[in-house]
Amino acid sequence: MAGRLGRVGPYALLERLGRGGMGEVYLAVGRRGERVAVKMLRDPIENDPDARLRLEREVRALRRVESPYVAQVLDADLSGDRPYLVMEYIEGENLLDAVRRGGPLPESRLIELAQGLAAALAIIHSGGVVHRDVKPANVLLGEDGPVLIDFGIAQVLDATRLTLTGTFLGTPGYCAPEVFSDETVGEPADVHGWAATVAFAATGRPTFGRGTAQSQMYAVLNGKADLVGVPAALLPLVRAALHRDPARRPTAALLADRLSRLARVAGESSRAPGEPSVPEPTTRAAADAPARTAAKPVAGSAARPRRARAATALAAAPRGAPEGALGIPTGNAALVLVALLAVPCVVASVVYPLATFAITAALAVVIRAVWTSHWLVRSRKPGRARACLRALAFPLTLAGSALSAAAWPGLPAAAAGFAALWVGSGVRLEPEWWSRPVPVTIAGVAFGVVSGAIIGREIERAGAAIPGLRREGLRALAVLGGFVALCAAAVRAVAFFF
């Protein structure tokens, strides 16, 4: 198949999608007919060794990051006369064009965008990569959430910096102050870009003005951000992320966590059924920026399921308002619950050592019944009917959980407890072993630790498949059995020595 614009390697170029600071992006097709995005160095800098090095860094950065929020690298040729990079093609409009066309995003969609972009940065930073050019034109609004693109000036933390004294790479209105002041540029710079991008999406105005590059630099260095119109729910996070001192900005992971809570509250209540989480993608974006580096993946590819799984399991907030797991609390409330339950449980375990086994087993059964009842109604629309159905089914799930827990984690936990009891009894088991508190306490610790580990892993797997499941409280209950046994053992140790 011959492309209208010629060929690059095995790829036939169909149309130019955009032009950026270091190259041009083309829609192309491969030998098998798959649609891809090809990014090439533009002619004026094709012999620039720094430009080649930046493109090589882009390839390294993108291959290093496994993220549903970053366009996947499919191929690259950096040794030819015209180096190029091939990425998956994602149909979507960039945030800059979407806001220019439709105005500021509604609050619920804005929170979802902010949370998804923060999660993308958190994943990128965990791979040791700093993007360095987070701005609206580099955020695609795909069907499965925002996708961060254009890593042409990405900073890999363990590589040599390319930025020279007195120069910078990036867009002035979305660069962090440290970029202009020749300070160390790291992950906080991306957080600053995140805040400026979110503020633009909220107001429809450039966060640091529309003036010259010099006036925008001045506004950035002096903290003169235009935040009028940013929703009150987001304003504290945006202000914190725009702090002049990089060390005082929140991390992307912290932002993603805080925003996931806001998204749970704002999601379903302000969105009509079937309404998309971002503005509908258009089939054509403006070509005056590196807008669409990708479009919808080839039918049958694994890219879309990969995004859908990660949006559920990793960072994207559940669409609906969260329903508690039968009243199981989260956060600090989960810690309070553990504290309130731990005291009487420890007392019971000290007075009756065998109570440790009963406490751990009961917790395992309740936890399994909770997530099982959630799973049974997962396909129903959140509301009172769903909560009532889950409550009515809970006795049955509790009975089923008791039977299943006897085998798993019951058998491996019982085996560990028996081994600990046997060793603690001096490698022999006396007829009235239950009356010996020290060996029984040791066995209770082993039983609780093994049971808690198995149930904890079960909670994580269930949470990834059941949106709205409150895992924090369930995790706290999962470790409570082992914690009670350890406390009882500590009490007996103190009594033995004193």
343: containing domain: 331-497
- What is d(CA 186, CA 291) in angstroms, rounded to the nearest whole number? 24
484 shares a domain with 388 = yes
Distances (CA, A) of 145 to 61, 100, 119: 21, 19, 11
420 shares a domain with 396 = yes
In a domain, 323, yes or no: no
Give the pLDDT confidence score for residue 77 in this predicted structure.
81
In a domain, 298, yes or no: no
110 shares a domain with 65 = no
402 shares a domain with 349 = yes
160 shares a domain with 60 = no
112 shares a domain with 21 = no
3-state class of 152 per DSSP? coil
Q: Which of 88, 115, 148 is the last residue of a domain?
A: 88
Q: Which of 21, 56, 88 is the last residue of a domain?
A: 88
CA 168 to chain centre: 30
48 is catalytic: no
Assign residue 14 the CATH number of its domain: 3.30.200.20
- What is d(CA 319, CA 468) in angstroms, rounded to the nearest whole number? 9
336 shares a domain with 364 = yes
In a domain, 297, yes or no: no
- What is d(CA 116, CA 273) in angstroms, rounded to the nearest whole number? 20
HSE-CB for 351 with a 13 A CA cutoff: 6
In a domain, 16, yes or no: yes
In a domain, 2, yes or no: no
Q: What is the pTM (predicted TM-score) of this model?
A: 0.53
In a domain, 462, yes or no: yes
Selection from 137, 71, 143 nearest residue 99 by Cα: 137
Give the pLDDT confidence score for residue 484 in this predicted structure.
84
342 shares a domain with 435 = yes
464 shares a domain with 377 = yes
219 shares a domain with 176 = yes
- What is d(CA 447, CA 482) in angstroms, rounded to the nearest whole number? 7
Q: Which of 133, 144, 150, 190 is catalytic?
A: 133
Give the pLDDT confidence score for residue 95 in this predicted structure.
93
In a domain, 150, yes or no: yes
Give the pLDDT confidence score for residue 231 in this predicted structure.
92
- What is d(CA 26, CA 16) in angstroms, rounded to the nearest whole number? 4
Assign residue 140 the CATH number of its domain: 1.10.510.10
347 shares a domain with 221 = no
Q: Which of 278, 313, 348 is the last residue of a domain?
A: 313
3-state class of 377 per DSSP? coil
3-state class of 10 per DSSP? coil
Number of separate domains in the chain: 3
- From first to last of its 498 residues, what are the pLDDT tens digits of the chain? 455 678 888 889 888 887 765 678 888 998 888 888 888 866 545 556 666 676 677 677 667 666 677 777 788 887 777 778 888 787 778 899 999 999 999 988 899 899 989 988 988 888 777 888 899 988 988 777 788 877 655 544 444 334 433 444 567 889 999 988 878 888 999 999 999 999 999 999 999 988 888 899 989 999 899 999 999 999 999 999 999 999 999 999 999 989 988 887 765 455 444 444 444 333 323 333 333 333 333 333 333 344 433 333 333 333 333 333 334 554 456 567 677 788 888 888 888 888 889 999 998 999 898 888 888 876 666 567 777 888 888 888 899 999 998 998 999 999 999 998 888 888 887 777 878 888 888 888 999 899 988 988 888 777 666 655 666 678 778 888 888 888 888 888 887 776
In a domain, 319, yes or no: no
- The β-bridge relationship of strands 73-77 and 7-8 is unpaired
One-letter amino acid at 158 equals: D
Give the pLDDT confidence score for residue 133 in this predicted structure.
84
HSE-CB for 170 with a 13 A CA cutoff: 29
Counting other chains too, the contacts that 178-185 makes at CB distance below 8 Å and 24 or more residues apart are 178/246, 179/132, 180/217, 180/220, 180/221, 181/221, 183/246, 184/246, 185/130, 185/132, 185/155, 185/161
491 shares a domain with 345 = yes
